[in-house]
Amino acid sequence: MRFFAISDLHTDFADNWKSLQQFSRYDYKDDALLVAGDIADGLGVISRTLSLLRSRFRHVFYVPGNHELWVRTDDCHSIEKFSRIQAHCEGLGIHTRSLKVGGLWVVPLLSWYDPSFDDDESADLSQLEGWSDFYFCKWPPEVALPSEYFLGLNRPFIRSYDAPVISLSHFLPRRDLLPPTRQLSFKGLPRVAGCNGLDQQLRAINSRIHVFGHSHINGDRMIEGVRYVQSKFGYPKERSLTAYRLKLIRGDEEH
């Protein structure tokens, strides 16, 4: 069994949906795909996308990103939206909890960003005035800090596993996976990029490979014994620069 990684599919864009449909119907039938969030905000698009991926791969693991928790047209708050997404995944056979497949454990880690991730306070806050999450995410009163809420949902799965572990999250688990602020085109990103508590959790379960998304900055780096991988599908204008190839993270050949 091979394991592939992808993030930031954004299939509410017609070009992205068409490109995703080109994934082979036959090449990945014995393989697993780790989807690190940001499919879309519409439940219909999310379900359609996951259904397509499930028809191509033997196993699909998934964590929501920030776009999924927008509630622009939904009669609920973001935590209710999250619960609806989880229910849809269960009905589609999409894995959102730890599961042992192919001799490995795959552990999805839920997440949100924490402002303290911007540890040197270098982010340009003026660039966040139009940040959509601030307008489209609606948190219930009991969720004072979304990053802590989602870390709390992970705690039942923070334990020892009897085989090597691959983990995934949407948000970045450590600041050094993001370039210095001066090198970023969007200089507000460090304030809304990640959560250091994620790295503590993935190391507590002895993850060997961690897949993430969100920043749209591809990478494959080994840091202190953990391999960190991002492979964005990206917006159409990003993908037009280079042809997208599925990122193999464990297996025998790259596609």
CA–CA dist 208, 229 (Å, integer): 11
Give the DSSP letter string of 21-43. Answer: TTS-SSTTTT-EEEE-S-S-SSH
Q: For residue 144, is it within any domain?
A: yes
Residue type, 152: G
Q: What is the CATH number of the domain that holds 168?
A: 3.60.21.10
* Domain with 43 in it: 3-250
The pLDDT of residue 11? 97
Q: For residue 255, is it within any domain?
A: no
The pLDDT of residue 78? 97
Q: For residue 104, is it within any domain?
A: yes
The pLDDT of residue 255? 47
Stretch 90-101: mean pLDDT? 97
Strands laid side by side in the 3-6 sheet: 59-62, 32-35, 3-6, 247-250
Stretch 81-90: mean pLDDT? 96
| pLDDT exceeds cutoff 60 at 253 | no
For the chain, give the mean pLDDT: 95
Give the number of other CB atoms < 10 A from CB of residue 212.
Answer: 30
Structurally, the chain folds into a number of domains equal to: 1
Instruction: Please give the radius of gyration of the chain, using alpha carbons only, rounded to the nearest integer.
Output: 17
Give the number of other CB atoms < 10 A from CB of residue 242.
Answer: 9
Q: For residue 145, is it within any domain?
A: yes
